[in-house]
């Protein structure tokens, strides 16, 4: 597969995703919306904290909650966006069969087709983090410390979003439209609950905590927090594990997830072709 072909496919699919996602408004209004939306999401988080920690304010918990929620906008938003694109093309636009039979790498098309959603999710995260730094004095990347680690973690975050996303896209080939949305929401909710987005893993019951500790998403969030914030006094289940070791554990998990996603995607693609599911419509 030539690099030129990959780039051309990705570029045109990315352009399509931009047109699909932003067709309801002008680019300026879309930008404004992309700034306002994460700010309001974070306002909700702030109010929840204010209500819950009314008597016992805990700055470390607030930072944990705020930064975790900002990272969640990226990770869960990107994943959620990616997992529904196949259904969009197959069911809503009824174009999947024509796209699928074009001589281009299908997975590159899917990566580009979800590009705007993933980029927008990253933008939400950036807006939330900048707002936290500017208006709430959260010591995010204070003194520029951790910026290299964060950039690395961000790129790895894209990798894990695409790896898990392809797994979900693959599964969604075999499901009906409504099942697919349900699956996407269920996975997002489970990750939101278990990966230490809004509360430390130490608050989870024993079995769930152990399960959460092996999820690469949990490792990614912990690494991103370590890059963005000074050490917190909360036990997030990784005390005593150095950042390089955690990075190694995460990379191992990411490799396993990527291989699983790759294999599953291709296996399911074959199954979908065998069962005639690439051009069906399940919603009327």
Partner 1 sequence: MTPAVLTGDLGRTFTAKPFGSKSHKPVTVTALSHVNLEIPPGELFGLLGPNGAGKTTLIRILSTLLLPSYGKAFVGGYDIETHPQKIRSLINMVSGGETSGYGMLTARESLWLFTQFYGIPYNEAFKRIDYLLKVVGLEDRANVKLHDLSTGMRQKVNFARGFLNNPSVLFLDEPTLGLDVHIARGVRTFIKEWMKEEEGRTILLTTHYLQEAEQLCDRVAIISDGKIIACDTPDGLKKLIPGRIRLELVIQPVNGRTPSWNDITGLNLIEEKEADNEILFRFLLNDEGIVHHIMNRLVNSEARILSLKKHEPDLEDVFVAITGKKLCDDETAEPPEIPEQ
* Complex with partner 1: residue 202 or 281, whichever CB lies closer: 281
8 A C-beta contact, residue 82 and residue 161: yes
Rank residues 55 and 274 by Cβ distance to partner 1 and give the closer one: 274
| Chain contacts with partner 1 (rule: CB under 8 A) | 5, 8-9, 11-12, 15-16, 19-20, 23, 93-95, 97-104, 109, 270, 273-274, 276, 278-279
Supply the minimum distance, in Å, between the C-beta of residue 263 and partner 1.
18
As a whole number of angstroms, the distance between CA 129 and CA 127 comes to: 6
Burial class of 206 by CB neighbour count within 10 A (0 to 12, 13 to 18, 19+): exposed
Cα–Cα distance for residue pair 63/230, rounded to 1 Å: 10
Under a CB-based contact definition with an 8 Å cutoff, are residues 280 and 92 in contact?
no
Instruction: Return the number of the residue (16 or 164) whose C-beta is nearest partner 1.
Output: 16
Angle at 26 between CA 24 and CA 32, to 5 degrees: 100
CB of 243 to partner 1, least distance (A): 42
Euclidean distance between CA atoms 191 and 205, whole angstroms: 15
Output 23 or 233, the one with its CB closest to partner 1: 23
Cβ distance to partner 1 smaller for residue 107 or 220:
107
Instruction: Report in angstroms how near the CB of residue 261 gets to partner 1 at its nearest.
Output: 20
Provide, rounded to whole angstroms, the least separation between the CB of residue 142 and partner 1: 43
Dig out the tokens for 140 from the structure.
């995010």
Task: Give the span between the Cα atoms of 37 and 228, in whole angstroms.
Answer: 22
Write down the least CB distance from residue 89 to partner 1, Å.
9
Read off the tokens for 4: 């030129």
> Please, what is the minimum distance in Å from the beta carbon of residue 252 to partner 1?
32
Quote the CA–CA distance of 20 and 59 in Å, as a whole number. Answer: 41
Q: Measured from the CB atom, is 50 or 271 closer to partner 1?
A: 271
- Give the Cα separation of 67 and 129 in Å (integer): 7
């Amino acid at each position: 597969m030539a690099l030129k072909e990959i780039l051309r496919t990705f570029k045109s699919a990315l352009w399509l995703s931009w047109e699909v996602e932003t067709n309801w408004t002008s680019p300026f209004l879309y930008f404004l919306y992309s700034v306002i939306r994460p700010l309001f999401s974070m306002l909700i988080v702030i109010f929840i904290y204010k209500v819950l920690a009314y008597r016992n304010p805990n700055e470390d918990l607030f930072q944990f909650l705020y930064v975790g929620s900002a990272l969640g906008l990226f990770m869960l938003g990107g994943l959620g966006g990616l997992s529904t694109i196949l259904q969009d093309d197959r069911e809503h636009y009824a174009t999947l069969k024509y796209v699928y039979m074009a001589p281009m790498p299908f997975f590159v098309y899917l990566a580009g087709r979800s590009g705007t959603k993933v980029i927008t999710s990253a933008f939400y995260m950036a807006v939330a983090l900048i707002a936290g730094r500017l208006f709430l004095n959260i010591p995010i990347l204070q003194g520029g410390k951790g910026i290299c680690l964060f950039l690395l973690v961000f790129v790895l975050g894209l990798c894990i979003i695409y790896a898990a996303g392809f797994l979900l896209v693959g599964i969604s080939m075999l499901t009906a439209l409504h099942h697919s949305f349900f699956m996407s929401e269920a996975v997002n909710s489970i990750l939101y609950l278990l990966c230490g987005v809004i509360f430390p893993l130490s608050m989870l019951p024993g079995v769930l905590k152990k399960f959460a500790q092996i999820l690469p998403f949990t490792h990614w969030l912990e690494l991103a927090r370590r890059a963005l914030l000074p050490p917190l006094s909360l036990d997030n289940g990784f005390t005593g594990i150095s950042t390089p070791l955690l990075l190694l554990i995460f990379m191992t998990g990411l490799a396993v997830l990527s291989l699983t996603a790759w294999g599953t995607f291709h296996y399911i693609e074959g199954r979908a072709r065998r069962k005639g599911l690439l051009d069906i419509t399940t919603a009327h």
